[in-house]
Amino acid sequence: MPCKVLADPVNFLYRSAETTDRNPMLGADMNIRETDSADLPLIETLYPVAFPGEDLLPLVRQLLGGENDVLSLGAMEGGRLIGHVAFTVCRIAGADVTVALLAPLAVDPELQRRGVGIALVEEGFRRLRSRGIQRVVVLGDPAYYGRFGFEPDEQVLPPYAIPEEWRTAWQYVDLNEGKTAERAVGGRLTVPPVWQKEALWLP
């Protein structure tokens, strides 16, 4: 994680794709809303099934524990939480640009490839934009995140050095229709303590 939790963020999605049937229809009664502390038990059941090889619960609990500036969205369907995404507001050292880190993102494996992940990310972008956030960064599979406009980030450094083979996995998107990108943006992403663990950013 951010999306490194996957042993290899660049290849993980391709592997899953081979084993997942696509249902093109989003559930008619799905809605996306901000989660609160009462949703934590539902969120705690989602992550172990979405990330069977990784224990993200300590991270997720700390992230949603109330001490971080986090936009936490849940996709709800029939009273179930079928997907979740978090965006953590961060800073870029030395730059006057508002930025959020996308991570983690999870969809119930039984309900993947129906557009739930896309709906969560796009709703997150809308809400972040209305909060004045200009830029979103992610460490994840370019094949998935490219559809949202993410591109390799060669201006802002990640909090920790990431392996060369993951260079294209460190990406950004400008929520401000290119206007932010026109300004000089440089420096290193400054993350809150919950993300200040090198192991979260390394293989």
Decide if residue 86 touches ligand COA (CB under 6 A): no
Min separation Cβ 184 and ligand COA, Å: 29
Decide if residue 158 touches ligand COA (CB under 6 A): no
Decide if residue 74 touches ligand COA (CB under 6 A): no
Tokens of 25: 């229809």
Min separation Cβ 1 and ligand COA, Å: 6
Decide if residue 63 touches ligand COA (CB under 6 A): no
Decide if residue 101 touches ligand COA (CB under 6 A): no
Min separation Cβ 69 and ligand COA, Å: 19
Contact with ligand COA (CB under 6 A): which of 87, 101, 117, 156?
117
Contact with ligand COA (CB under 6 A): which of 87, 124, 133, 144?
144
- Percent helix / strand / coil, the chain, rounded to 5: 35, 25, 40
Contact with ligand COA (CB under 6 A): which of 7, 17, 57, 161?
17
Contact with ligand COA (CB under 6 A): which of 73, 97, 101, 106?
106
Identity of residue 86? A
Spatial separation of the C-alpha atoms in residues 58 and 77, rounded to whole Å: 25
Binding mask 21-50 for ligand COA (x = CB under 6 A): -x---------------------------x
- Which residues contribute to the site for ligand COA (CB under 6 A)? 3, 6, 12-14, 16-17, 20, 22, 50-51, 103-107, 112-118, 140, 144
